[in-house]
Structure 1
């Protein structure tokens, strides 16, 4: 069955006149008659009883009217919904972001998106980098914003900006308040609070230090950066975190300074599945995130 056949059938059923039905569906009488005949052939019987003077619905035709009406309505609803989705007037966009980005910068991009596409629903998952990559690979989210996952045949990475790590210190740390930076040898004199393995952030730090022949004395571990910050603020040790987390760390009472020799930083960007076309809503979200943050220094 085709939509044209269903519309032709309903037009004839309502008017009981092929001539009048032709005007409703904008078909010639031969084309209308052919559409009805093909529909009857497909269904296996007559929908109309025709005489030389009149036409009326068969019993089967009467039963088919509500069915055809529903099918045409569903088709129209589907067409309207898809048009709205392509026009960004309807739909949902799913986005995953590492917590340090989701809680600081991402709201700015979300606000811009809602201003342009107020009818699109946004779902944000704030998850650690390891889980975020798996979500993108498994198709559980179209977009992820996190650190560069490195070379991966199934992922694409669109860089946005570089984020250098900062040291977080307890309020009573001996580094003078006038100092805005600390070097690694001085920092490593203190006990460290670190994220639990297999944290990618922890791996970045340990790998960089190992290349310099250094290592941290880890005495406390936590699963969330905010917990690391609270432990440091309580005097349990020091740590290093992405500068994106600076505001959060200071809010819980930790002191933040830049860390030198070596400077550890990573690119932050958008992670998507390789050769997987984004939905219209997700593509618009990617464009707005790029527009908002790619020029960030």
Structure 2
């Protein structure tokens, strides 16, 4: 049984005539007759009670007609829905983002995207960078907003805006009045780092190692604002993206640029390599790239 058989049968039942159904469907009458005979043989029942004056559905024909009309309606609905998805009239993007980073980059972009594609819903969840990669790899989210580098064997990455990391210190710290400092000059300082599941933990640690020392870790936290509070109570210094400093809003803190090495914080959208990506997700990636390109 195929869809064409059901289409022909439904039309014959509506028209109560092979000739009229053939004219409506733009096929020959013998083709319709052959298709109906094949359908009856396949089902093992008589569907049409044919007399000289009229054609009526049998009990089995009534049952098949009822189900066939539902199937054809679902097929039409499916085709319409697929067309809507293709034309970006509907869809959903499951997106993961690093805490704070998303609130810094995405609100305006999402607002503009929703104006252009009102039928596409965006579902957002927060993850640390390492957890985010796991969820993208597993397919529980379509796209992840993270920082580079990403695993190029598993993910395609679309670079977005970048910023640098800066040092935050207490206002009475010995470097608080300086405009910039080299990372090597901070080798004796106590560092307040983010916990190991966050990308910035590895970025800061690797930058310190390249500068010739391993950072002395006083505390670790997963919360941006708590890191700022620890620095404000003179328990150590920290390195954070410049955009985060504006959000800490603490009068006890001072910001000092890192002159060498310059530590870039490159944002990117990542998605699985060689896997299907929905029309909606591709549209969002392209839109974000357009509005947040480096």
TM-score, scaled to structure 2:
0.90
2:240 is the counterpart of 1:241: yes
Cα deviations by residue, 1:82-133 (Å, 9 ceiling, x for unpaired): 1111111111011222224201011122122111101100011221110111
Q: Which moved more, 1:86-95 or 1:186-195?
A: 186-195
Q: Do the aligned partners of residues 186 and 211 (structure 1) sit closer, same or farther apart at CA in structure 2, a change above 3 Å counting?
A: closer
- After superposition, the CA RMSD in angstroms is 2.3
Cα deviations by residue, 1:45-66 (Å, 9 ceiling, x for unpaired): 2210112332111110012221
Q: Aligned-pair distance for 1:280?
A: 0.7
Contact 2:145 2:269 in 1 (8 A): yes
Residue of structure 2 in register with 1:181 after alignment: 180
Q: Aligned-pair distance for 1:229?
A: 2.3
- Equivalent positions of 1:45-194 (< 5 A) are 45-176=45-176, 179-194=178-193
Runs (4+) of structure 1 moved beyond 6 Å? none
Q: Aligned-pair distance for 1:252?
A: 8.8
Give the Cα–Cα distance (whole angstroms) in 2 for the partners of residues 74 and 151 of structure 1: 42
Contact 1:169 1:254 in 2 (8 A): yes
Q: Which moved more, 1:22-31 or 1:244-253?
A: 244-253
Residue of structure 2 in register with 1:202 after alignment: 201
Q: Aligned-pair distance for 1:187?
A: 4.2
Contact 1:249 1:256 in 2 (8 A): no
TM-score, scaled to structure 1:
0.89
Unaligned runs of 5+ in 1: none
Contact 1:192 1:219 in 2 (8 A): yes
Contact 1:100 1:244 in 2 (8 A): no
Residue of structure 1 in register with 2:22 after alignment: 22
Cα deviations by residue, 1:210-243 (Å, 9 ceiling, x for unpaired): 1222232222211232321233234432211122
